[in-house]
Amino acid sequence: MIAEWRKKPVVLLLCIAFCCIPWAQGALIPGLGGYLTISSLCLLVGSVYAAIDRLNTSRPLVPRSFFEIPVVICILVYFAIGLASYFFAAEQLPFLKEAIQRCILILAPLYLFSMGPKRPEDLKKAFYWLMFMSSIMSIIVFEEGVRIGFSAPVYALDLHKNQIAGTCSVTAVIAIACLLTSSDSKRRFMFTIFLVIALLGCVASQGRAGFLCTIVATFFMLIARRASLKQITKFVLSVALVSVAIVHFMPKEVIENATSTKKNSNQVRLLVWTELYPILSRKPFSPVGWGNGLFVGSILYHDVANVLLYDWMQMSILGPLALLSIIFFAIKLTLDNASRMPTNTYLSFVNLIALGIICTRFTHGMLDTFWIGRGCNLCTFMGIGLAVYVKLLLDQQQQIRRLSNQMRAAGPARIPQKLAA
């Protein structure tokens, strides 16, 4: 395996990037304010390697078709709007730090996952490593929850409960994608164990967003899988039954913590959302710049627990509009990819995971302020990069088939020997 990774450094970097996502604090690099983590550093190095590799093999850094994909155009527009907020930033240093961070967390994963992988099978190792490392984290978190009797959210391993739940939701959708594309009973049993462990991590951390993210992502994955109305109905009923079972069997303290609207975190969210929206709506085109908070009197709005409000505050109303267009075209791209290929291939497996990651991370970004940093943004653009990779590979295969059919129609004498073979 080591010899294989020496020949495929991109595979190694992707594996390290994925398996370090649960530990999103990563390696703090002086001068960048802790923005550079192990995962983002691997993606940055991998992007440089992929670019050099393409140049060495006489390929363009980015093919022209890359810029014709709607979600890529939307990401570049989104990034341009953010850079333009520099002229409105109250403080330039926070802007520069966040600009560096967003370059690493948006452009690097988009480029590497679009241009780096050679085969969809290579990505499987990275997904499995993430499930393995996340399962270790979930088991430690669950044991801590059992020790304290689930009386409070778990902040184990120096990780925030929402960070734990978010990683568990990503692991859950990867396990679900494995279940939806695998027919081997032993493998399905193994993936079911990974799924259960991930959900137990959500239970122990009491991160309700993790469950919601998993449900939303699974619904879209079933659509991509071309599930029937009956199958989707079964999924909805299963979610309802599991919810009832959790309410019935879980300790009373857990249920009270999960359903309470009087908890401090919920009160703060509602207060910030209801106060900030009227302020932003009065001056929708007045950004404060990346990395800067909004001062209203003596109140500083910075940790707003909603990515749309966050981008609106920092980038004007154009920020959330551009972000919504990114998510819309990203989901559309994965659904279009799914309609162009069988449901039991490695490429279909990769496409399902891309869709699941995009849905779960964006849903989480709507409820928590981990969109920038701590892996949420990073995972989202990993997923979008995967979707772009699948689209480019499908286009390439379609072009090869079209050329092959044209040459066969022209007659056997004009078919090159290698192509005929």
CA distance 317 to 322: 9
Q: What is the pLDDT of residue 86?
A: 92
Torsion over CA: 214, 217, 219, 223 (sign): negative
Q: What is the pLDDT of residues 9-49, one digit of tens each?
A: 777 787 777 777 766 554 444 444 456 677 778 888 888 88
Q: What is the pLDDT of residue 411?
A: 64
* pLDDT tops 90 at residue 121: no
Q: What is the pLDDT of residue 2?
A: 43
Mean pLDDT to the nearest integer, 56-77: 91
Q: How many helices (H) and strands (E) does the chain have?
A: 18, 2
Banded pLDDT at 89 (limits 50, 70, 90): confident
* pLDDT tops 70 at residue 265: no
pTM for this structure?
A: 0.87
Q: What is the pLDDT of residue 402?
A: 84
Mean pLDDT to the nearest integer, 179-185: 84
The proportion of the chain whose per-residue pLDDT surpasses 70, expressed as a percent, equals 84
Q: What is the pLDDT of residue 377?
A: 65
Farthest CA pair distance, the chain: 81
CA distance 199 to 91: 41
Q: Which residues pair with 301 in a beta bridge?
A: 294
Sorted by where each begins, the domain ranges of the chain are 2-407
Q: What mean pLDDT is reported for the chain?
A: 81
Q: What is the pLDDT of residues 126-162, one digit of tens each?
A: 888 888 888 888 898 888 888 887 777 777 776 777 7
Radius of gyration of the chain (CA): 22
Q: What is the pLDDT of residues 322-376, one digit of tens each?
A: 999 999 999 999 999 999 988 888 889 999 999 999 999 888 888 875 544 545 5
Q: What is the pLDDT of residues 287-330, one digit of tens each?
A: 999 988 888 877 888 878 888 998 999 999 999 999 999 999 99
CA distance 200 to 167: 12
Q: What is the pLDDT of residue 419?
A: 46
Banded pLDDT at 417 (limits 50, 70, 90): low
Q: What is the pLDDT of residue 122?
A: 75
